[in-house]
Every structure is written in C-alpha cells, then in structure tokens.
Amino acid sequence: MDEGKKKGKAVVVGGSIAGLSCAHALIAAGWEVVVIEKSSGPPTGSPTGAGLGLDPLAQELIASWLGRTHLLHDSTLPLTIDQVIVEVSMRNRDNMRKLSKLLNNWSGTALELFGELNFLTHWKKEFEELETKEEEDFEGEEEDCSLLGVSKDRVSCTSGFGISGSRLQMVQLVKLFVFKIPCEVQMFKKAFENEATDGENNINWTLTRDENFSFRAAHWVDLHSLLYSALPPHIFLWGQLYLSFCVSNDKSNVKLKTKILQTGEIIEIVGELLIAADGCLSSIRRNFLPESKLRYSGYCAWRGVLDFSDNKYLEAITGLRKVYPDLGKCLYFSLGYGTHSVLYELLNQKINWIWYINQPEPELKVSSDMIQKMHEAAEKVWVPELARIMKETAEPFINVIYDCDPLEQIFWDNVVLVGDAAHPTTPHGLRSTNMTILDAAVLGKCLEKWGVESLLSPLEEFQSIRLPVTSMQVLHSRKMGRIKQGLILSDRKPFDPKVATPEECHDLQQKNMPFFGEVP
Ligand SMILES: Cc1cc2nc3c(=O)[nH]c(=O)nc-3n(C[C@H](O)[C@H](O)[C@H](O)COP(=O)(O)OP(=O)(O)OC[C@H]3O[C@@H](n4cnc5c(N)ncnc54)[C@H](O)[C@@H]3O)c2cc1C
C-alpha cells in the first residue's frame, strides 16, 4: 500500500464468508474495516452449515489472507475427481402401485408387448401382485411422483394411449408404460446391457468422470473459523442488526443505523463505503431494487453431514465406500430419475450429502414427520448404502433453492453488493462461496488501485470485472440444476441419462462453468 494515501473506512454488513473475505481484502488494501453482523457471535461447532467446494483460485486467495498456506490445506480434503453417475435403487415396489394409480383412467392395447415383459423377471412378482389387486386398493394414494423418479410430465406423455377401459387393460397399460417409456425399468435394461448392476437391488453406471479437478472440500464452519481467526476481533460488531443507510449529499460518506439486539439501542456508524455482504435476501439490495425477486428453482435440497468419527457407523461407511470407492477425493453427483444427489467426504470423518427434490415451493419448517418421509423416500430412490447415510445423519436440514436473474448493476454511489447479495445462485456449479471470495479480492484490488478520493472509478472497475462473470456463472448453474433434475429446458430436451450422448454427459462436468479456469 502507498503510505501517503488517505485511509478509507468500509462498513461491511454481514459477517459470513463474503463479509470476512471483504474484511481481509480491504485490510490488505489499506482500508479500515468494521463488520456488522446480527448473529450474536462467530458460529462454532460442526452443526453450523455443511460442506462446500473451493476452487483453486479461492484456495490461493484464502491462503494469501491467512498468511500460512498449510492452514487451509490442513482443514480441507481434496476433490480431485468430478464424477457423475447414475445410481438408483431398484426396490421400488411402491412406484409400481403409484404408477398404476396415475394411469388408472387410461387403457390401451399392449398385448404384443406382453411377451417381451417376461424377460424382466425382476418385476414378475410385482406384476403378479398388481394383477391380484382390486381397483379400490389404489384409492387415496398420493399422486405426487416427484420422489419416484417419474414426473407427471412424463406420465402425461403417454396420454395418447388414453381410452377408458377395464382394470385388466389398465394393468396391461401399466406394464406397457413401465416397459415403454423412460423409467427405472429402462435404467435396469441399460444397466443390464452395461453389466453395471449388482444383480440385486442397485443399478449404476458412470456418465462422466473428470480426474483433473482441483477443488478442495471444506466444512463451512471451518472455513468461517479460519477466515475469522485471522482478523482482528475488534473490527466485529456482533449482535447488531443493520437497519438503514443514507449517503451524504456530497457522496463523501455513508451513514448507517444499526440496532444492538441485546439492548435495543440504535446507533449510527459512518464510513466512506458500505459493503452489502448481507446474503441472498439482502435488505440493502432491496433498497435499490425493490422489484428484484428471488426465483424459486422448482426444487429443494435435503442436506446433512454424517459424523462417523466415533466408529458407530463403521459398517455403513464401509458399505458406502464400496459403492462410492473414490470418496475422500471425489465429488460424486448421482442422477436418479428427475432427481440428483451430491456426495463427498469432509475432513475429520464426515460425509456431506445433498439430495435435490422437485416440488412446489415449500414452507420452511423441518419436522420429524418430514424427516421420516424423506428417509422412506430415500430408500426407494437411492441405493441402500446412500439411503442409510441419509437416515443415520443427525439433524438433516432443507435448503429451498433460489437464484436471481443477474442484476444490471451492483453498486450505487458509495454502496456495493458482494457475495450472495450481488448474485444469489443455485449451488450446482459450486460457485456461491468461490464467487464471493473473488468478489472480495477484486474489490480490494480496485480500491487499492484507485484510492479513496473517488469511489466511482474503483467501483465501476469492480463491477465491470465481476458482473459479466458472475452473471454467466449464475445462469450456467441454473441450467445445470435443471438438467440434473430432469426439468424442461428452453434450448434442449430434458436430460435423459439412458439416451444421453457422450457430449451431453460431458456437458455435466464442472469444468464447463464459464470462466472456470481463467477468471479475468
Ligand atoms: C450460518 C451459515 C451456514 C452456511 N453453511 C453453508 C454450507 O454449509 N455450504 C454452503 O455452500 N454454503 C453455506 N452457507 C452459505 C454461504 O456462506 C454463502 O452462500 C456464500 O458463501 C456467500 O456468502 P455471503 O456471505 O454472501 O452470504 P451469507 O452466508 O448468506 O451471509 C450473509 C450474512 O449477513 C448477515 N445479515 C443479513 N442481514 C443482516 C442485517 N440486516 N444485519 C446484520 N447482519 C445481517 C447474516 O446473518 C449472514 O451472516 C451458509 C451461510 C450461513 C450464514
């Protein structure tokens, strides 16, 4: 830093990863920083947050802020393989019944296919059971197939067959349906051809595998703790809720009002720059863009971290490692039908998992009943080894997945947005934290270069560097999510693992993220 330059003061709202990263970057740029965070203190303990993946540039930046390169390395595990597999359980007897319920107003002539069904001896018992059932047995069953790997859209594809008919015809049509259109039986067939089934309950095959992935897996709370411990504690105002701001007429400073949550006292804080690091629901962003809305992705994610350090889950982990042999260095994406899960290992004997489920936007209250249903559904959708990990995990939680159409600007006078406040994103490109860290680093460099005399030039430069990159990355991540969830896309057919070309499978790799290896 040039010693002759005037020192600016930045007030950062938000003490999460964006806030801490900005504190590091701006202190390195010679700025004074104060961080306002509504939580009462720094988060501690492993239940806070779950896993995240750090790209090589973010690793480099964090290491430079911490001053000791080994610290980050020692707190993370490698993710050197990015692999997408198809991995589903074939124990879906209930699916058959639910499919038949969906089809029970339809019928058709499928007799010519009857004979062929014999080859699927795996399903023989299910068919026999179905045929002995009365129509009433199907009454009152849930129609929601979102967990079943067969979406209503796909079911309705077959409505061309529809004429009302006898129960026997309906049963026949169920068979036709199961045989003819994409569903688990087709997956079974494919696996059969690929000899990639364990012959009993599971089918799996690899869609794509990239062995040159250089990410590292961190637990959120460990990363937060690393960044926090390397900052002077006096810059943090914990337990303070940001309320409002006002930029002075001459634009030389910005004044904030905050509330000390413990006492209710309102105080004012003045600085040259206000950095909004207040997350995807940013109230500072709303101030400038009241119309800007988050977009619900169409799915939620169950998440959890299983701690297996006490040997209690030895058998479950041994089983899991058989199915996912590269755990400990691999970022696994498992595609089911219209659903997908993510699995990777974290330091200190922890397994991080995420399961994305298509559904209408939900209320956000996790109850024990919901957890129970999730466990039951997992047994039908995923291989038993993964379903077991989900079941054994204490305190699984739900993330409702949102993003936001890219903003046109991310600064106004003395106020700048960073991190999730600037670009709420879906998690499929492992971008959120990486974008955040880079935002902070670029902001620091721009401020250092231009000094504090006028904030227009550094903030314009910051925006011109970051906005095109983050905008493309948010949209790419959105597309990846829709592909992996089997949802409708504007420019192509929904992804179908059974018929996907090698090129389409290759598109699923993380390295296709725009600016993956060369960020400006
Ligand atoms: C507790 C926690 C756990 C997380 N765990 C994970 C994880 O396991 N994996 C993962 O990929 N991502 C996780 N995230 C999200 C991840 O941090 C972000 O997606 C990403 O790193 C960008 O961070 P951010 O700082 O921009 O936003 P956020 O992490 O959302 O942080 C925003 C911060 O602003 C604070 N804030 C908001 N409004 C106000 C206000 N009015 N006054 C004062 N403070 C305010 C919030 O309390 C919060 O600390 C977690 C976030 C939090 C807060």
Please give the helix or strand (H or E) that residue 278 lies within, else none: none
Cα 227 to Cα 17: distance, rounded to the nearest angstrom? 8
Query: Ligand 1 center to residue 421 CA distance, Å?
Result: 10
At 453 the pLDDT is 84
Ligand 1 interacting residues, C-beta cut-off 6 A:
13-19, 36-39, 43, 48-52, 220, 241-242, 277-279, 283, 419-421, 432-433, 436
**Distance between start and end Cα atoms, the chain:** 22
Query: Best mutation site among 11, 220, 224 for ligand 1, i.e. most ligand atoms within 8 A of its Cβ?
Result: 220
3-class SS at 206?
Answer: strand
> Percentage of residues in the chain with pLDDT exceeding 90?
64
> Which residue reads 């000390």 in tokens?
260
Both tokens of 456, joined, read 């227009």
Closest CA to 100 of 136, 49, 68, 53: 136
Mutate to test the pocket of ligand 1, among 54, 278, 437, 477 (most ligand atoms within 8 A of CB): 278
Tokens in use for 255?
Answer: 């004044």
The string of pLDDT tens digits covering residues 134-184 is 444 444 333 332 222 333 333 222 222 222 333 344 444 444 444 433 344
Instruction: Report the nearest atom of ligand 1 relative to the CA of 224.
Output: 17
- Look at ligand 1, atom 50, and give the residue with the nearest C-alpha: 49
Contact at 8 Å (CB) between 302 and 393?
Answer: no
DSSP states of 337-353: SSEEEEEEEETTTEEEE
Strand locations in 142-194 (E): none
DSSP 333: E
Q: What pLDDT score does 47 carry? A: 66
Over 50: is that where the pLDDT of 450 sits? yes
Distance of CA 380 to the CA centre of its chain: 22
Band (514; pLDDT cuts 50, 70, 90): very high
Token pair, residue 421, equals 């406040």
Atom of ligand 1 nearest to the CA of 50: 8
Atom of ligand 1 nearest to the CA of 14: 34
Determine which residue's CA is closest to atom 14 belonging to ligand 1: 49
Sign of CA dihedral 408, 413, 414, 415: negative
Structure-model confidence comparison of residues 511 and 100, the more confident one = 511
pLDDT (tens digit per residue) in 432-449: 999 999 999 999 999 999
Average pLDDT over residues 305-332: 94
Q: Give the pLDDT confidence of 457-492 residue by residue, as tens digits.
A: 999 999 999 999 999 999 999 999 999 998 988 888
**Which atom of ligand 1 is least distant from the CA of 243?**
41
Grouping H, G, I as helix, E, B as strand and the rest as coil, residue 176 is helix
Distance 279 CA to ligand 1 centre (A): 5
Q: CB–CB of 108/163 below 8 Å?
A: yes
Rounded Cα distance between 348 and 333, Å, is 22
Residue 357 near residue 146, CB atoms below 8 Å: yes
Return the structure tokens found at 7. Answer: 């020192």
Tell me the pLDDT tens digit for each residue of 337-394. 789 999 999 999 999 999 999 998 987 778 999 999 999 989 878 888 999 999 999 9
pLDDT given at position 458: 97
- Token duo for residue 212: 């040159």
What six digits make up the tokens of 22? 């900005």
Residue 220 has pLDDT above 50, yes or no: yes
Predicted TM-score (pTM) of this structure: 0.82
